[in-house]
Every structure is written in C-alpha cells, then in structure tokens.
Amino acid sequence: MAWLAIVGATFGALLPIANPVSAAPVFATITTGESRESKKRQARLAGIYMAIILLVSLLAGALILEFFGISLPALRIAGGLIVARIGFGMLNPEPDRRLPKRDQEESADKEDIAFTPIALPLLSGPGSIAVTISMATSAEHYLDYIPIGVGIVLVAILSWMVLRSASVIVSRLGRTGVNALTRIMGLLLVCIGVQFIGTGVVDLLTTEAAVDSIRDAFPSAGV
C-alpha cells in the first residue's frame, strides 16, 4: 500500500509539470509532413528519452546534491519556486504555445526531434528534474526508488500515448480545450510548488544549526 501511495504521489507530481497535452500542439507542428510511422516513432522515442532523463535524475540526484553541498530543504524551496513559476505561467497560457523561431528552424532540419525539443525541455524540463531529485532525496530506503521509478515510467507512457495521438487531440480539443487543461494543470502546479516551499522552509528552520541560531538570537526567550 505504501508503494502504491509513492507511485501515485510521483505520478501526480510529475504529470502536471510534463503536461503532454500542452506539448501536443508543438509536436504536431514540428512533425508536419512526416509519415504516420515516423510520427509514431518520434513519439515513442520522446517517451523513452523522457523516462531515461528522469530516471537518471532519480538515481544520481542524491550524489549531485552531496557533490555541490546542497541541502534537501534548499532543493525543496528552489524546486518549489521553479514549479510555482511554471504553474503561474500556465494559468495564463499564451494564445499559441510555440517554440522560439530559431528552435523551430533547427527542429525542421533534424531527423530526430524526440530528444530535443520534445523530451528536453518540453516534457522533462527543470521542474520535472527538480521534483524527481526532491522525491529521491525524500526516500527513506533505496527500495523506495522502485515505486518512484514506476511513477516516472507511467508518466512517460502516458506522454507517449498523448504525443502519438497529438494531431487527433489538437483537432478534437482545439486551442480553447488545450488552454483550459493547461490552466487546470497550472493551478495544480502552483499548489505543489507552495507545498514544496512550505515543507522546505519548515525543514530549514528546524535544522540543528537554525535552532542554535535562534537560541543565540533570543537567549531570554528560552527557545
């Protein structure tokens, strides 16, 4: 049961950030003119690359934090700020989400657009990576990496399925439908970001060093 909760938490945290429905119009645009089989291949590779990027972040996250001397509370606060910023941006989506002109031109010249720009940064950008590392460092045991990894793979599979049907989704939902879903995902992201920041601040203030500093600052208060 605990593992199912971790899988659900991972899936729920990553899906709004990845937001494959919002990435579908971009995918449909830059694969215009390609065969149906080529589009399916690009969608499949994008899902695979996304899973690899986040799984590497999961496995190497703790080592990266230790190497740079970054504390978990600091990561949670920074990750929360990133996620909340992305969420606020999604609450007011642009009328037409597009890649910068230079990226569009580069994508048009590429045979494989699955890694960039689809998998990185659209599906597994800084927000997704920050959340993944935060969840990795919150794991109580290395076995907890398994359900987190399962949650990552499930999000990648769903992203692949959405991109595979990108043209259909865009035509059915239309720009209004895509923007509505984007706003819902944005609200969820703001909530997740605030929760991350709150948890990080509490953890930061309850560290031994912080408590000692408070005691030194207010000796008469008996803290």
Residue type, 38: S
- Per-residue pLDDT 10s for the chain (223 aa) are 588 999 999 999 999 999 998 889 889 888 888 889 999 999 999 999 999 999 999 999 888 888 888 888 888 898 889 888 888 888 886 655 555 555 555 545 455 789 988 998 889 988 899 899 988 888 888 888 999 999 999 999 999 999 999 989 888 888 788 888 888 888 988 998 898 899 889 988 887 665 566 566 666 555 5
CA distance 61 to 31: 33
d(CA 80, CA 112): 32
- Total domains in the chain come to 1
Residues 6+ apart with CB under 8 A from 203: 72, 73, 76
pTM: 0.79
With 0-12 / 13-18 / 19 or more C-beta atoms within 10 angstroms meaning exposed / middle / buried, residue 190 is buried
Within 8 A by CB and 6+ apart from 8, the residues are: 151
DSSP for 179-194 reads: HHHHHHHHHHHHHHHH
Looking at this protein, which amino acid is placed at residue 135?
Answer: M
pLDDT of residue 208: 63
Domain hosting 103: range is 2-221
The torsion angle over the Cα atoms of residues 180, 76, 49 and 68, rounded to 10 degrees, is: 150
